[in-house]
Amino acid sequence: MFENLRKIKLPLTDAVVRSLTAGDLVSLSGELYTGRDQTHRRLCGLLDKGLPLPVDLDGHLIYYVGPSPARPGAVIGAAGPTTSYRMDPYTPRLLEMGVRATMGKGARSAEVRQAMLAHGAIYLATIGGAGALLSKRVRASEVVAFADAGPEAMFRFEVIDFPAVVINDVHGRDFYEMQGQRGG
Amino acid sequence: MREIAGELIIATVRGLIMDAAVDLEPDCATALALARRQESSPLARDLLDLLLANVEIARQEKIPLCQDTGIGVIFVELGQEVHVAGDFVAAVQEGVRLGYRDGYLRMSVCDPLTRQNTNTNTPAVVHVESVPGDLLTLRFLPKGCGSENMSSLAMLPPSAGSAGIVDFVCQRVVAAGSNPCPPVVVGVGIGGTFEKAPLLAKRSLLRPLGQAHGREDVAALESQILARLNATGQGVLGLGGSTTALAVHIELYPTHIASLPVAVNIQCHAHRHKECVL
């Protein structure tokens, strides 16, 4: 599967985002930011107060992951995706801030799909439950915000050949739905 | 009375936790390999190859199979002729704390309201059952919550019968979609009361995969649900194929004449569990 994937550079360009279609298998290389429940709650808390975000998310991909701790000498521990619907309440606001792609596992809400259409953003799924394998595709990792949240902190990852499937494209297509298998 | 030292319990629980996170039990690894051989979708076959590769990397490099190393669930069978000096449950929790720390496992336990992480992955959920004899059995199940969140309970009317049970279980698994990381293991608890059915469902996950229930009619129900789930086409990670579930395990308990509780506890393909008899 790794051999025939379309290679994509991160951060994504507008042209690349628009060229991707639901069901495309891709291999991502470059810089992304991570965040799960607490990072999303806090990012939106900052926006509520009119405060600046800790990093400029414009054009970036947010990967929903709470990694396990790195063993001594390792870049990161297991680093597979968490379930995306828990981030649904926060996602439209982050798309407004310029986030062009999100990545996790599982279907998104109608509101998020609508917001993706409005902002020309996409959603990808990576391999749930393959945390050890995916950890080998993370070349560098640093905490950029909310360190006190432990595994829920916001990290910057440098990834290489990170496998993913495009679920929602800019045309409103949904790969889970296209198979008639969209879950709740 | 047979004495078992608290230190032995601490060390045993610590070891179970560290092993479970990185070393998938043969029953689950075999089920994944069997699914790979039987799967018809090329994408699903590729994905199963990745999941099998993940199992090997985890085992060899001691990297957790999944970053969600769970909230600990421990089933204890405590022989009536066993005496543990001191606080037994505190010893189990200390083993949990050390296992998560020393195994470089993720701290995923928090206050349910403030969401403040306890930073020790304690407390684990501990179920202690008294049994005859002088043995102490510890069964550890690190429960990831992508799958746990997809679980549910129904208090069905008895008129729903077996058909109603099958419909409810299948509907829950299908609605879960790709969220719980299929191919899933489906634990089903039928009977008892409002709190008993989920406990049966959780406990059923500890049965080795591929082993049917001892009662013929129950085993038939397990096969029926499994066949129906694998015919949905939902497939590996919800991306299509004939492998949506690896196994369906049902456990029963007598219930009230007015009642038919049915609980579904969904487990992901990284079905980690370890046990030890002291």
Q: How many CA atoms lie within 13 A of A68 on its CB side?
A: 33
Name the burial class of residue B270, with classes exposed (0-12), middle (13-18) and buried (19+) by CB atoms within 10 angstroms of its CB.
buried
B42 reaches A (C-beta below 8 A): no
pLDDT band at residue A181 under the 50/70/90 scheme: low
Q: pLDDT tens-digit profile of B118-152?
A: 999 999 999 999 999 999 999 999 999 999 999 99
Q: Tell which residue, B68, B141, B67, B62, has the closest CA to residue B102.
A: B62
The pLDDT of B179-192, averaged and rounded, is: 98
pLDDT on residue A182: 44
Give per-residue pLDDT as tens, A107-126.
999 999 999 999 999 999 99
Res A1 pLDDT > 70: no
- 3-state percent helix, strand, coil for chain A, nearest multiple of 5: 30, 30, 45
B5-18 confidence digits (pLDDT tens) = 999 999 999 999 99
Tens of pLDDT, residues A97-112? 999 999 999 999 999 9
The answer to whether the CB of B118 falls within 8 A of the CB of B101 is no
Cβ(A98)–Cβ(A57) below 8 Å: yes
* pLDDT bracket for residue A4 (50, 70, 90): confident
Those of residues 111-140 in B touching chain A at CB distance below 8 A are 115, 117, 119
> Between chains, do A181 and B46 touch, taking CB under 8 Å as contact?
no
Tell which B residues from 58 to 77 touch A, by Cβ distance under 8 Å. 58, 61-69
Residue A105 in contact with partner chain B when CB distance is under 8 A = yes
For residue B26, what pLDDT band results from cuts at 50, 70 and 90? very high
Using CA coordinates, name the residue in chain B closest to A1: B46
pLDDT of A80 over the 50 cut = yes
CATH T-level assignment (fold) for domain A6-178: fumarase (3.20.130)
Q: Do A85 and B179 touch (CB under 8 A)?
A: yes
Asked if B68's CB is within 8 angstroms of A66's CB, the reply is yes
- Tens digit of each residue's pLDDT (9 = 90 or more) over B40-61: 999 999 999 999 999 999 999 9
For residue range B235-250, list pLDDT tens digits in order.
999 999 999 999 999 9
Average pLDDT along chain B: 97
Cβ contact B179–A152 (<8 Å): no
State the pLDDT confidence band at A184, using cuts at 50, 70 and 90.
very low
Helix-helix angle B88-102:B6-22, to 10 degrees: 40
pLDDT score, position B124: 98
Indicate the residue of B46, B53, B108 with minimum beta-carbon distance to A133: B53
Per-residue pLDDT at B240: 92
pLDDT of residue A5: 87
Query: Helix, strand or coil for residue A82?
Result: coil
ipTM exceeds 0.85: yes
Give residue B273's pLDDT band: very low, low, confident or very high (50, 70, 90). very high
Domain ranges of chain B: 2-20+65-143, 146-272
Pick the closest to residue A181 from A8, A6, A20, A22 (CA basis).
Answer: A22
A40 is catalytic: yes
Q: Is the pLDDT of residue A2 over 70?
A: no
Do residue B237 and residue A105 have CB atoms under 8 angstroms apart?
yes
Give kind and range of the element (H or E) at residue A10: strand A6-10
Residue A180 has pLDDT above 70, yes or no: no
Quote the pLDDT of residue A3.
61
A184 chain-B contacts, CB cut-off 8 A: 175-177
CB contact under 8 A, A129 and B268: yes
Q: CATH number for the B2-20+65-143 domain, one of 1.10.860, 3.30.360, 3.90.550, 2.60.120?
A: 3.30.360
Q: B60: which 2 tokens?
A: 């060899």
B5 and chain A in contact, CB less than 8 A: no
Closest-CA residue of B relative to A183 is B177
